[in-house]
Amino acid sequence: MAVRVLGYLESARNLTGSAAALGGLALTFAGFAGPYWPVVVGGLYGAGALLAPPRRPPAPAFEEPSSRLDELRADLVTLRAYLDRVDLPTGAAERLAALTGLLDGLLAPGWVSEALAEDPEGVHGVVRAVRRDVPECVDTYLRARWWTRLAPGARAPEEELERQLTLLHAEAQALVDGLRETEELRQRSHTKYLEDRGGGVPPVGRPPEP
């Protein structure tokens, strides 16, 4: 109870109301309130308390979206360490290097990863590629390769792995293209804003009209 009372005494409502009440006392001493000065002072206090902005709790401070990618960057390092221990055919190794290169670029700290962090579906795609798709592609290839040595199948595991990595690279490239298009749209929107503002500057490559 004492804490609540002390909290109210320090609140903006009480301080504003008290300031208004002091103004009422000043009017009383100046002779404007007369015998009704308690009503005037009380009324001004109540009006001031009502006009004061309400007390509000501070909003929670959540992590910046880009900071959530730190754990994913660490997972990519772990994935690379795993891939370095795996013997892959040349074609698959080249496709895998191209794919991990795209993932590296997307997760590199800076404005690129900040743009990625604002795209929940894009982040989900990268998480899925790093934590599930790539490890599963490589692991199933290693398993299938062993079985194929005992009993050759209809399709070589190397071909299947290259096909899988090609599909994953296409998904990552589509994400990169989407983020690039977003930046291009932002740039064009700013150009349109400048044109609508009436700058009168002709487009690049077109001479001004006489």
Q: For 78-113, how does the pLDDT look when each residue is reduced to its tens digit (9 = 90+)? A: 999 999 999 999 999 999 999 999 999 999 988 888
Burial of 76 (0-12, 13-18, 19+ CB in 10 A): buried
* Domain residue spans of the chain: 7-51, 65-195
- The H-assigned helical ranges of 66-156 are 70-84, 90-107, 111-117, 120-128, 134-150
Distance from first CA to last CA of the chain, Å, rounded? 80
Q: Whole-model pTM? A: 0.64
Q: For 185-205, how does the pLDDT look when each residue is reduced to its tens digit (9 = 90+)? A: 989 999 998 888 875 555 555
Question: DSSP letter at 109?
Answer: T
- Going by pLDDT thresholds of 50, 70 and 90, the confidence category of residue 147 is confident
Q: Cα–Cα distance between 98 and 75 in angstroms, integer? A: 18
Q: Which pLDDT score is estimated for 5?
A: 45
